[in-house]
A = this chain, B = another copy of it.
Amino acid sequence: MTDFTFQINNDVKWQYNNYFLDKAKNNKPVLQRAIVKPSRLVDIVADKTKFNGWSAQNDSRDLLKLDTYALGRNDSVILDFGNHHVGYFKVDLQHVGSPMDAPTYLHIKFAELPAELMGNSDEYDGWLSKSWIAEEYIHLDVVPTTLVLPRRYAFRYVQISVIDTSAKYKITLANPELTAVSAVLNKKVLKPLGLDDPVLQKIDDVSQKTLQDSMQDVYEDGPKRDHRLWLGDLRLQALANYATFDDRQLVKRSLYLFAGMPTTDGRLAANVFTEPEIVADDTFLFDYSLFFVSTLHDYYQHTRDVEVRNDLYDTAKKAIDVGLSFVNSAGVLSLDDRYPVFVEWSNTIDKTAAAQAILIYALKQFITLSEAQKLPVETYKNQLKQLIDAAKTYYFDAKEGLFVSGPERQINIASQVWMVLAGVLNSEQNYELMAKSKIKLFPITGIATPYMYHHVVEALFIAGHQTDAIQLIKDYWGGMIALGADTFWEAFDPNQPDFSPYGSVMVNSYSHAWSCTPSYLLRKYVMKLAV
């Protein structure tokens, strides 16, 4: 997650907690590994039906004869590993012809989708760092050799281009190999979907792969790029994980990481780094901080792990108290630019009402946690009532039958959805709200994140619009699959399928864990499993 979540705060006062950070370290996963061999050689060809107009087609050359193809200046091959993976790449190089009278110079590109291989990194000038473009330039002074790249990549395709050998010799490639890594690489999914719907089955498969590839040393947002643990993304990843791999240790570790690095005033960083060292990012988002409460609540509901609840309750309390401190005497949440709310990437959506709903949503979960702690909750319940009353009073437009947001009384999808999720209205009202939303706000426009689409779908399920919820899953996540997705993407706007928030397909993440939630949604709301 990035975009306007980009912040620099030089004046943050941190209060690291080594007891929590040690627990986080003690729960560091041992990554599982598997060797993956490529399945074929491909060419990238123009194809209007696929993402960005490119697809991978069989090359005229045969993978089984790879070591017979002599490659010199400007020659290249593209290896297809058959599916998306996160891991390491190596390949053997042999030399053919006269003695090696010059180094071998290679350009190696890694791609999650074929379109990425058609980009030229020199032309990228977006605000996101160019250093994320997955390519290397490598001189080899000695061939034969085994080229072992030390960096980790997220990819399905590897293009190896020979910038030059020399006029006297060429190289051949042999034994290309990917070592895939994940905390749950070999873990079986406990509850198969079994809905006898091939479209939903494929969406579930791709969701699981997306989640699996993000479960590394922490829950990474997208393994291609950030490699970082974001709190709001974690909340969804944890839910999808309970419904599939059910690896509890990595959620526990993640909770301790955030709890171990609060600010002195009780805020939690929106994300943390674990490499080169464990450190919190100086970025703060109102809703992400509250989702610590939410993630702890969900973890406890799923595991009944009292030790973790006892350890982390105070951190959750501080997070909720910081959130409540922005509520005025009328029960209205009022934020400023120093502590923005995320909700969605869009900057055209007014987020005032959605933020109020998210605070209600988290406060309810906090009260549940407090009751489990057997602590008094009266004050919080009063605040909750005040927040809900204010939401109805100031944000619900009875004439429209929809929530409005901001001084312009904007009617947007985020407000309706979060009010449903927060349970501000009763069941019948929720049904009506989403029925009106469908008329007024569907088909959805201007939303590019699977993260927001997740909340829309969940609100539809909760409000009783099951058929619409399933259709939206099929349209939105199925839309990515139709365009060639092996894993679900960081961003996808069905109205602009080629949209990149960064101005280049080369830096987009095409395996982004906040998009993996169909596995959770389908199990919870269609299979009616307790996840």
CB-nearest residue of chain B relative to A122?
B122
A6 adjacent to B168 (CB under 8 Å): yes
Cβ–Cβ contact B101 & A164, under 8 A: no
Partner of A99, one of B102, B131, B168, B282: B282
Is there contact, CB below 8 Å, between A164 and B8?
A: no
The answer to whether A103 and B131 have CB atoms under 8 Å apart is yes
A164, B122: Cα distance in complex, Å: 12
A98-B164 in contact (CB<8A): no
Contact, CB under 8 Å: A139 / B167: no
Q: Are A275 and B131 in contact, CB atoms less than 8 angstroms apart?
A: no
Which residue of B is nearest A227, CB measured? B141
Scan A339-356; emit 1 where CB is below 8 A from any B CB, else 0: 000000000000000000
The answer to whether the Cβ of A279 comes within 8 Å of any Cβ in the partner chain is yes
Contact (Cβ within 8 A) A164 B73: no
- Measured CB to CB, the nearest residue on chain B to A226 is B101
A255 to B98, CA, bound (A): 22
**In the complex, which residues 130-176 of chain A have their Cβ closer than 8 Å to any Cβ of chain B?**
130-132, 136-137, 139, 141-143, 151, 163-168
Bound form: Cα–Cα A130–B16 in Å: 51
Asked whether any CB of chain B lies closer than 8 Å to the CB of A443, the reply is no
Contact A131-B166, Cβ < 8 Å, known A141-B151, A142-B275, A275-B142 = yes
Report yes or no: A103 in contact with B127, Cβ–Cβ below 8 A: no
What residues of B have a CB within 8 angstroms of the CB of A143 in the complex?
276
A499 at the interface (CB under 8 A from B): no
| B-facing residues in A91-148 (Cβ within 8 Å) | 97-105, 122, 127-132, 136-137, 139, 141-143
**Given the complex of chains A and B, what is the CA–CA distance between A98 and B272 in angstroms?**
12
Bound-state Cα–Cα, A127 to B73, Å: 10
**Contact-residue size bin, chain A (C-beta under 8 Å from the other chain):** 35 or more
Q: Is A84 an interface residue (CB 8 A)?
A: no
A85 at the binding interface (Cβ < 8 Å):
no
A194-228 contacts to B, CB under 8 A, are 225-226, 228
Query: Is A67 part of the contact surface with B, judged by Cβ < 8 Å?
Result: no
CB of A510 to closest CB in B, whole Å: 18
**In the bound complex, how far is the Cα of B128 from the Cα of A73, in angstroms?**
11
**How far, in whole Å, are A225 and B102 apart by their CA atoms in the complex?**
8
Q: Which residues of B contact A73 (CB under 8 A)?
A: 129-130
Contact B98 A281 (CB under 8 A): yes
Which A residues from 289 to 348 make CB contacts under 8 A with B?
none
Bound-state CA distance A378–B136 (Å) is 64
Instruction: Flag whether A273 is at the interface (Cβ < 8 A).
Output: yes
Residues of B within 8 A of A141 (CB): 151, 275-276
Chain B positions within 8 Å of A100 at CB level: 273, 276
Inter-subunit contact B151/A102 (CB<8 Å): no
Known: A130-B73, A137-B137, A139-B151. A98 touches B282 (CB 8 A): yes
CA distance A129 to B141 in the complex (A): 13
Which residues, 266 to 288 on A, are CB-close (under 8 Å) to B? Answer: 273, 275-276, 279-282
Indicate which residue in B101, B129, B166 contacts A165 across the interface (CB closer than 8 Å): B129
Residue from B6, B130, B168, B276 in contact with A163 in the complex, judged by beta carbons closer than 8 Å: B130
Docked CA distance A226–B163 (Å): 18
A167, A275, A276, A279, most chain B CB atoms within 10 A: A276
Q: Collect the chain B residues with CB atoms within 8 Å of residue A122's CB.
A: 122
Given A103-B129, A281-B101, does the pair A139, B142 have CB atoms closer than 8 Å? no
Contact in complex: A165, B281 (CB < 8 Å): no
A230 to chain B, nearest CB (A): 11
Asked if A131 and B139 sit within 8 Å, CB to CB, the answer is yes
| Chain B residue at minimum C-beta to C-beta distance from A105 | B131
Tell me which residues across on chain B come within 8 A of A137, comparing CB atoms. 136-137
Taking CB atoms, residues of chain B closer than 8 Å to A103 are 129, 131-132
B129, A164: Cβ atoms closer than 8 Å: yes
What are 9 residue pairs bridging A and B, where the CB atoms are less than 8 Å apart in the complex? A8-B167, A102-B131, A102-B225, A103-B132, A105-B129, A129-B166, A130-B164, A131-B164, A142-B276
Instruction: Write the residues of chain A forming the contact surface with B, with a CB cutoff of 8 angstroms.
Output: 6, 8-10, 73, 97-105, 122, 127-132, 136-137, 139, 141-143, 151, 163-168, 225-226, 228, 273, 275-276, 279-282
A-B pairs with lowest CB-CB distance, top 5: A102-B129, A105-B131, A130-B164, A142-B276, A137-B137
